[in-house]
A and B are shown apart, each in its own frame.
Chain A
Amino acid sequence: MNAHSHREESFFRKYIWSTDHKIIGLQYGLTALLFLSVGFFLMMVMRWQLAYPETPIPFVGSFFGEDGILLPEIYNSLGAMHGTIMIFLGVVPLAVGAFGNYLVPLQIGAPDMAFPKLNAASYWSYFIGGVIMMGSFFSEEGAARSGWTSYPPLADIEVGQTIWLIGMVFLITSSLLGSMNIITTIVQLRAPGLTWRRLPFFVWTQLVTSFLLVLAFPPLEAAAVLQLMDRVAGTSFFLPSGLVISGEALAVSGGGSPLLWQHLFWFLAHPEVYVLILPAMGIVSEVIANNTRKPLWGYNSLVFSVIFLGFMSFVVWAHHMFLTGMGTAMSSFFQITTMIISIPSVIILSALFISLWGASIRFNTPMLFALAFLPMFGIGGLTGLPLGIAASDIYLHDTYYVIGHFHYVVAPGTIFALFAGIYYWYPKITGRRMNERLGQLHFWPSLLFMNGVFMPMFIQGLAGVSRRLWDGGLEYAHAAGVLQWNEFMSISAWLLGISQIPFIINIFFSLKRGEKVDRNPWEATTLEWVAPSPPLPHINFETLPEVHREAYEYSVPGRNRDFTPQTEPKKG
């Protein structure tokens, strides 16, 4: 594979069908950022309808209907696709595909991923899946409109779902290939001396995340195949007998169960939410360790907690299904596991907080985003608890409270962590630092408006407003007292969009004009900073690094510098 690393490669070989993990990582990253913008764009359109129901959408209205008013069915499409795009095409590819690909080999001192061709295949499978998903908007039937959860029987009978399922199969394949590659890389290609206890925490989170993907995605693939059969071959895996749709008896054999889908779906989708959060935690830990200039507090308990978290995430899925008619045994079991799984999260967060004590904190942009992650994830995580307690979930299930809960963990949580990562590793990728002032201009408004969008959701949720309502609750009397928030949230969302402009400018501006830096601008200890910036094509390091110390030797007493790279040999 690396035989041609010294040869000149054609443009196509170098940037398109590349097998270099760094190029693939960048491909993943750019595509995912693009999809994030698309997902966000859909949401900004939906927020117009929620704020000003049944008024024509400005600027882009003509895409969505003759008179520019968002129809309910289109609203449902946009909602389902917002969820799908954000999760499967945005955050997972960015967190695992981009960050995992780019950084894991560097952090473990490997020349490339274990299977470079598979790596490229994984990206292209993702790309095809993305194209199929996007294409569904322009197909005759339109995009899927049964929520990202695709509950049958609705999903079995609604238009657009077939394309969604086919797209999902590609995305699942991509994730499977990618995560097998990451696991193998971590296990097999660690540099000499890099023992498990010396592994940077980020690598640990990638390892656990990849295991989640390998083992949890296939049941969803199975479910997708079954739903595809229902739609294409007329089977009734998810359709019981005796359904009457719009006055017509549904002509199927029946005998299936809609709950089967829910079980298989959530068997994936709960581990999936930890796939969204664990890499984010990894990134945040790296940034915090570096900018507090001290080791992470409780490395062992952090590692133990992510492993335990990963393990437990397979046995909590039915907390999404409390209201499906569950008996006492099942509901008690899943409540207990849900409460158990919250403990390692608390431990991880605590360890990160405690790491701050006694530090010497540098408030640069990556650190700001990483610090903001902590309380924001805290809010999201804490509001998960009343949902995990079945008694309170009776009231809160499928209200905006749930929407608020998970947006706090994914948007100001994961997205902020990813921003932190981009600012932090940008110098490694380009050899230039991103602009601090623009970074601050990105951070502060983003923090403000994120809360502006999502905080009122808890209020609406407490009032009992259901999610996925086209008119934002106008129809319902119990929503009357909290409707005024809709406009507030929408305006916050649009301002949040505007706040991203400095970021986009920063990315392109710094490519040419950013301050030039050497290979270790943040004075960090882990291996990626030993490589040149950017790392050498295909081989990363000039010589194979050898590891002599733990990952975070910052401010060790008695040393003349406040950091000691992992490669520095121990004396005598």
Chain B
Amino acid sequence: MSSGDDVDIQSHIKVYMMVFASLAVLTIVTVSASYLDLTSGEAIFLALVIASIKGSLVACFFMHLISEKALITWVLMLTAGFFFILMFLPMASFIDQAQIG
């Protein structure tokens, strides 16, 4: 446990507060955006972008990934890679299969 001194921790708390506030604001933003008159493509894009921002905030600060050791980053990058394969290929398959059937 590499505990820093108190000043360090105080500044951490400030960061946490700010993250918390941004998350709350972004939640409101994403809800309001869903009432806008957007095409479904735009709506999906916007909602996913906001969710990704929120997700990164949580991951980077609450889960302190931003200052995490390289090892963990590597594990997560590997996971992210496979996650995207998982997300992408059923879609690709769908398009491909729709072509003929």
Give 18 CB contacts A-B under 8 Å. Answer: A187-B71, A215-B78, A215-B82, A219-B86, A259-B93, A259-B97, A260-B90, A314-B82, A318-B89, A324-B97, A325-B100, A326-B93, A326-B96, A327-B99, A328-B96, A329-B92, A330-B93, A330-B96
B101 within 8 A of A: yes
Q: Which residues of A contact B (CB under 8 A)?
A: 187, 211, 215, 219, 259-260, 263, 267, 314-315, 318, 324-330
Return chain A residues, CB-CB under 8 Å to B97.
259, 324-327, 330
Return chain B residues, CB-CB under 8 Å to A315.
85
Q: Is the CB of B96 within 8 A of A329?
A: yes
Pick from A259, A267, A324, A330: contact of B92, CB below 8 A: A330
Closest to B99 in A: A327
User: Which B residues from 79 to 94 make CB contacts under 8 A with A?
Assistant: 79, 82, 85-86, 89-90, 92-93
Contact with A along B37-66 (1 / 0, CB 8 A): 000000000000000000000000000000
Return chain A residues, CB-CB under 8 Å to B82.
215, 314
Return chain B residues, CB-CB under 8 Å to A327.
96-97, 99-100
Return chain A residues, CB-CB under 8 Å to B85.
314-315
Bound complex: CA A85 to CA B34 (Å): 49
Closest to A214 in B: B79
Return chain B residues, CB-CB under 8 Å to A260.
90
Task: A327-B96, A327-B99, A330-B92 are known; give 20 further A-B pairs, CB within 8 A.
Answer: A211-B78, A215-B78, A215-B82, A259-B93, A259-B97, A260-B90, A263-B90, A263-B93, A267-B86, A314-B82, A315-B85, A318-B89, A318-B93, A324-B97, A325-B100, A325-B101, A326-B93, A326-B96, A328-B96, A330-B93
Bound complex: CA A315 to CA B81 (Å): 11
**For this complex, into which size category does the number of interface residues on chain B fall?**
10 to 19
Distance to closest chain A CB from B93 (angstroms): 6
Most chain B CB within 10 A, of A187, A263, A326, A330, is at A330
Bound complex: CA A385 to CA B12 (Å): 56
Bound complex: CA A502 to CA B82 (Å): 45
Interface pairs A-B: 4 shortest CB-CB: A327-B96, A330-B96, A327-B99, A215-B82
Return chain A residues, CB-CB under 8 Å to B79.
215
Bound complex: CA A211 to CA B74 (Å): 12
Distance to closest chain A CB from B22 (angstroms): 30
Bound complex: CA A219 to CA B87 (Å): 11
Most chain A CB within 10 A, of B78, B86, B90, B93, is at B93
Bound complex: CA A259 to CA B92 (Å): 13
Return chain B residues, CB-CB under 8 Å to A267.
86
Bound complex: CA A149 to CA B100 (Å): 25
Closest to A187 in B: B71
Return chain B residues, CB-CB under 8 Å to A263.
89-90, 93
Bound complex: CA A326 to CA B97 (Å): 6
Distance to closest chain B CB from A216 (angstroms): 8
Return chain B residues, CB-CB under 8 Å to A314.
82, 85
Bound complex: CA A533 to CA B71 (Å): 35
Distance to closest chain B CB from A266 (angstroms): 11
Closest to A324 in B: B97
Return chain B residues, CB-CB under 8 Å to A324.
97
Distance to closest chain A CB from B98 (angstroms): 9
Bound complex: CA A259 to CA B97 (Å): 10
Closest to B93 in A: A330
